[in-house]
Structure 1
Amino acid sequence: MNMTAAPAVEPRHGLGLDWNTSGPGELRRRIRAGRYSGHTGGLARGYVQANLAVLPAAYADEFARFCQRNPKPCPLLATSEPGSPRLPELAADLDLRTDLPSYRVFRNGEPDGDVASIGDLWQDDFVAFALGCSYSFEEALVDAGLSLRHWNDGSVCPMYLTDIECAPAGRFHSRLVVSMRSFTPADVIRAVQITSRYPRVHGAPVHLGMPERIGIENIERAWQGDDPVVAPGEMPVFWACGVTPQVALRAARPHIAITHTPAHMLVTDVRNASLAVG
């Protein structure tokens, strides 16, 4: 396969862009032009970011059922028409082939590299799914005064593969992947309250403390993302994670499938506030 290698990661400064306040359209244009290929946590403040899964139409109905049966890790925001790289309800100018900073390609269920764009891989029968991402509720946590260590140090939120089984659908099955953030006990209560208002971006945590209870043997070693620092007096808090569908794709083994590279998300024009309930 002739894949275009992802460009080197650009710094978040020095590009004439205010990363925290510039709109999502400007960020997508930079990505499309190959000027930014890093992770998107904390960027385009105020706007929804999404996980991406692209697979042949023959697998689309089963994957949609998998999402419907597992709304915590797979909160479905939008689905494309077969063959279309557009999701106009998320952004009018969005091109799914170019507008993510990095894509992960799977062949027969196995990872086959990360690439900067997927125009040369796009097929007429591809169906794309955009799923909610915890980056949206992270902004609500920060706005409420809670500290997120990975935001402060520019790292990627740690993710873990648990022993919790998702509800299967046809060829798709998976254990639950979770993301972790640690807080003081008082802030844990606030984090639960805040994220409960965002069910379309994973909602409330699935587990508090005691990582061994969900099959995480060593919390200091992330399965994906960066290894965490849990300070004395803090409790690890676990949310369902949108990397779960990547595990399900591996189980279904389509001849080709494409997702976002973890932490390199689809940035939309939808406001985070529009997803809040209550």
Structure 2
Amino acid sequence: MARAKRRADDVKSQFSAAQQARAEIRAARWSSHTSGLADDHVQGNLVILPQDLAGDFLRYCQRNPKPCPVLAVSEPGDPMLPTLGTDIDIRTDVPRYRVWRRGELVDEVSDIEALWRDDLVSFVIGCSFSFEQALLEAGLPLRHVAQKRNVAMYRTNIETEPAGPFHGPMVVSMRPFRAADAIRAVQVTSRFPSVHGAPVHIGDPRQIGIADLDRPDYGDAVEVMPDELPVFWACGVTPQAAITQAKPEFSITHAPGAMLITDLLNAQLASF
């Protein structure tokens, strides 16, 4: 009985961490990246599109499950996402949103209540922040977390499979590891296919079209030591590259690194 109570208290505490983080974000007291916040909880990338493009985008995600693993899709015009947590309001619960017009980034805002429309559909896509806790628990250090930086993200020359107007390059996130740790990182992250799973590339960044690791397209650069390998995972910022190609009349995404924190636990996503 005592063990069951402790387990219930642990679960309550974990859910409170996610809800507290969202409360801070909703009150505009947190507007930075979310790496390291509510560590045990699933985080998600965000894409919001008009309903007439939602079918094409869903097919794009289905054809590109490594960079675009779908965690939830809303009903048109409904800002709530009950399958991901209590009282999640997609209009207020992301630290920073990007607003796009015809594929061009036109603004970054802290909430989108004034922009909300009855035809908008929200897609929440798995994020590699969700497997970072498993990496840390396996004794694998994460330099960007230790330095309180956003993870480094890069556009590559790996083309995604098109669907309707959506196409473009895969975006990847990078974390440096020593060779033995890189092998262990592959093993750990393979357990989490719904948040990108195993890496897509290890080693020479030029082979996937990255010219300079010190100049990420999104996020913050971290040093790769001489005895380390850069390890690259598919990234949920990939849809933002597809939006620049598709040029929808109107769309909204999260700002890279500024994720939706859900009530789901990372352990729930482990496939084995």
Give the structure-2-normalised TM-score.
0.94
Given that 1:225 and 1:262 are in contact with CA atoms closer than 8 Å, whether structure 2 keeps it comes out as yes
1:186 aligns with 2:197: no
The code of the aligned residue for 1:244 comes to T
Which residue is 2:23 aligned to? 29
Aligned-partner Cα distance in 2 for 1:37–1:95: 16
Given that 2:97 and 2:253 are in contact with CA atoms closer than 8 Å, whether structure 1 keeps it comes out as yes
Aligned-partner Cα distance in 2 for 1:27–1:217: 36
User: CA RMSD for the aligned pairs?
Assistant: 1.1
1:51 aligns with 2:45: yes
The code of the aligned residue for 1:238 comes to F
Q: Secondary structure at the match of 1:120?
A: helix
1:90 aligns with 2:87: no
1:76 aligns with 2:70: yes
Aligned-partner Cα distance in 2 for 1:211–1:33: 40
1:222 aligns with 2:216: yes
Count of equivalent residues = 259
In the TM superposition, residue 232 of structure 1 has moved relative to its aligned partner by 1.6
Distance change (3 Å), C-alpha of 1:21 and 1:227: farther
Q: Render the CA deviation track for 1:129-187: whole Å, top value 9, x for unaligned.
A: 00000000011000111100000010111111000100000100010100000000010
Kindly report which structure 2 residues correspond to 1:1-278, keeping only aligned pairs within 5 A, or say none.
Answer: 23-278=17-272
The code of the aligned residue for 1:57 comes to Q
Given that 2:15 and 2:263 are in contact with CA atoms closer than 8 Å, whether structure 1 keeps it comes out as no
Given that 1:53 and 1:128 are in contact with CA atoms closer than 8 Å, whether structure 2 keeps it comes out as yes
Aligned-partner Cα distance in 1 for 2:222–2:37: 21
Q: Secondary structure at the match of 2:114?
A: coil
The code of the aligned residue for 1:194 comes to V
The code of the aligned residue for 1:220 comes to D
Q: Secondary structure at the match of 1:23?
A: helix
In the TM superposition, residue 223 of structure 1 has moved relative to its aligned partner by 1.3
Give the structure-1-normalised TM-score.
0.92
The code of the aligned residue for 2:97 comes to Y
Identity rate of aligned residues, in percent? 56
Aligned-partner Cα distance in 2 for 1:254–1:166: 18
Distance change (3 Å), C-alpha of 1:182 and 1:92: same
Given that 2:150 and 2:257 are in contact with CA atoms closer than 8 Å, whether structure 1 keeps it comes out as yes
In the TM superposition, residue 92 of structure 1 has moved relative to its aligned partner by 2.2
The code of the aligned residue for 1:55 comes to L
Aligned-partner Cα distance in 1 for 2:51–2:29: 32
The code of the aligned residue for 1:212 comes to R
Aligned-partner Cα distance in 2 for 1:265–1:239: 17
Aligned-partner Cα distance in 2 for 1:265–1:195: 19
In the TM superposition, residue 250 of structure 1 has moved relative to its aligned partner by 1.5
In the TM superposition, residue 220 of structure 1 has moved relative to its aligned partner by 1.9
In the TM superposition, residue 203 of structure 1 has moved relative to its aligned partner by 0.2
Q: Which runs of 4+ in 1 moved over 3 A?
A: none
The code of the aligned residue for 1:105 comes to V
Given that 1:193 and 1:204 are in contact with CA atoms closer than 8 Å, whether structure 2 keeps it comes out as yes
Which residue is 2:9 aligned to? none
Q: Which runs of 5+ in 2 are unaligned?
A: 1-13
Aligned-partner Cα distance in 2 for 1:27–1:207: 33
Given that 1:108 and 1:256 are in contact with CA atoms closer than 8 Å, whether structure 2 keeps it comes out as yes
The code of the aligned residue for 2:247 comes to R
